[in-house]
Amino acid sequence: MNEPNKNIKPFAMQPDKPEPEGSVEWRSPSNIALIKYWGKQGNQIPMNPSLSMTLKYAFTQTEVKWHPNDGTTQGEFDFFLSGQKVGPKFEKRVGNLINEMAKAYPVLNDLYFTITSLNTFPHSTGIASSASGLSALALSLLSAAQRATGKADEYPRFLQKASHYARLGSGSACRSIYGPYAIWGGGVNTESSDEYAIPYKPHQDFETIYDSILIFSEKPKKVGSSAGHKLMDEHFYRQGRINQVRENSFRLLKALETGDFDVWQEVVEQEALSLHGLMFASHEPVLLLEPDTIRFIHDLNAFRAGKGLKVAFTIDAGPNIHLLYADEHREIIRNFISEWIMDHHLQIQVLDDETGKGAKQLFE
């Protein structure tokens, strides 16, 4: 397993000194999958392994304050997202996560939490807010649990547990803990696991990759990811997909290790199109791409033909494009995006991000 990022501050706490009340704050980024997680079983166990690039600027910052409750309730909380109390659906998700964590940390049942959370990016922009949100929450609650009991794990073990709990909150969230890349799912290498993600450090040419996110639609997803994963249960292409991921993981890891941008482009784009191909071919077909998504891909293909640009597109479960590119082609790609938007008279938002280092705790 790679060393966790050195420049994340060490986990600050005083072991063996239980803190019945206190507060803790974590910042956790979103991530974009290059090998896609699609399909799951049991308690958030992925059908296949996935590999993601951690983002830098799209993150959630979550503060958890805790104090003893009055003994009549268990693990109750108030949750404010951008100053607004969250709705019942999200509340249920948070409650479920606290219950899961309370199995290992019963102290959580005796506490009351006030949770405040902020995202750096607008809601429903195709950036996975559940990845950053649930990972920031898992990190903060785990810190609270360990500080309330006065029993701290070593930092690498702490992060691994946080990744495990983040996974229970939202599968892809387990990868957000680490940067610059993360692998989730057993069988990729000797360290990888279905239970939590592990950090992955590529060849230096892949350490900083830019990501311009073209927001073709801000509408909430037509199909939530839980319903989407379910479509893989009985999918005709299920075994084919599992085989494809095995080969793509192997090829992408080799490309990331050797600095091979051609194979990187081929695999990353095939993964994005495969994800949507699986959706099209589901028992209940799902069509999330917009005409502009397709138009952009055609125009990108025409523009880059023969130029040898280090650029690849990827798409999550929505219509928005993440255009990934190396520093040396930053200007040409950004100009292409601006001109493309102008040529088509579109009014769309583009969010610029890049490879990030993973989650970090914030100190006063």
Residue 36 or residue 329: which is nearer to ligand PMV going by CB? 36
Choices 8-16, 29-37, 147-155, 335-343; region in contact with ligand PMV by CB under 6 A: 29-37
The one-character DSSP state at 21 is S
Q: Residue 177: which of 120, 215, 138, 150 has the closest Cα?
A: 138
Residue 139 or residue 275: which is nearer to ligand PMV going by CB? 275
Alpha-carbon distance of 148 to 20, in angstroms, equals: 5
Indicate the burial class of 333 (C-beta count within 10 angstroms; 0-12, 13-18, 19 or more): buried
Instruction: Report in angstroms how near the CB of residue 6 gets to ligand PMV at its nearest.
Output: 26
The one-character DSSP state at 10 is P
Please identify which residue in 37, 77, 165, 200 interacts with ligand PMV, judged by CB under 6 A: 37
Residue 54 or residue 172: which is nearer to ligand PMV going by CB? 172
Alpha-carbon distance of 167 to 135, in angstroms, equals: 8
Contacts of residue 297, defined as CB under 8 A and 6 or more positions apart, other chains included, come to 313, 321
Sign of CA dihedral 220, 223, 229, 230: positive
Please identify which residue in 28, 30, 192, 225 interacts with ligand PMV, judged by CB under 6 A: 225
Residue 25 or residue 211: which is nearer to ligand PMV going by CB? 211
Choices 5-13, 33-41, 69-77, 230-238; region in contact with ligand PMV by CB under 6 A: 33-41
- Does 86 bind ligand PMV (CB under 6 A)? Our answer is no
Please identify which residue in 172, 248, 265, 314 interacts with ligand PMV, judged by CB under 6 A: 172
Instruction: Report in angstroms how near the CB of residue 130 gets to ligand PMV at its nearest.
Output: 5
Indicate the burial class of 59 (C-beta count within 10 angstroms; 0-12, 13-18, 19 or more): buried
* Tokens 């579109």, residue located: 346
- Does 316 bind ligand PMV (CB under 6 A)? Our answer is yes
Alpha-carbon distance of 52 to 35, in angstroms, equals: 7
- Does 130 bind ligand PMV (CB under 6 A)? Our answer is yes
Please identify which residue in 27, 36, 164, 241 interacts with ligand PMV, judged by CB under 6 A: 36
Residue 67 or residue 219: which is nearer to ligand PMV going by CB? 219
Tell me the one-letter amino acid at 148: A
Which residues, 261 to 280, sit near ligand PMV by CB under 6 A? 275
The encoded tokens of residue 210 equal: 């830019």
Interface residues with ligand PMV (CB under 6 A)? 33, 36-38, 50, 128, 130, 170-172, 225, 275, 316-317
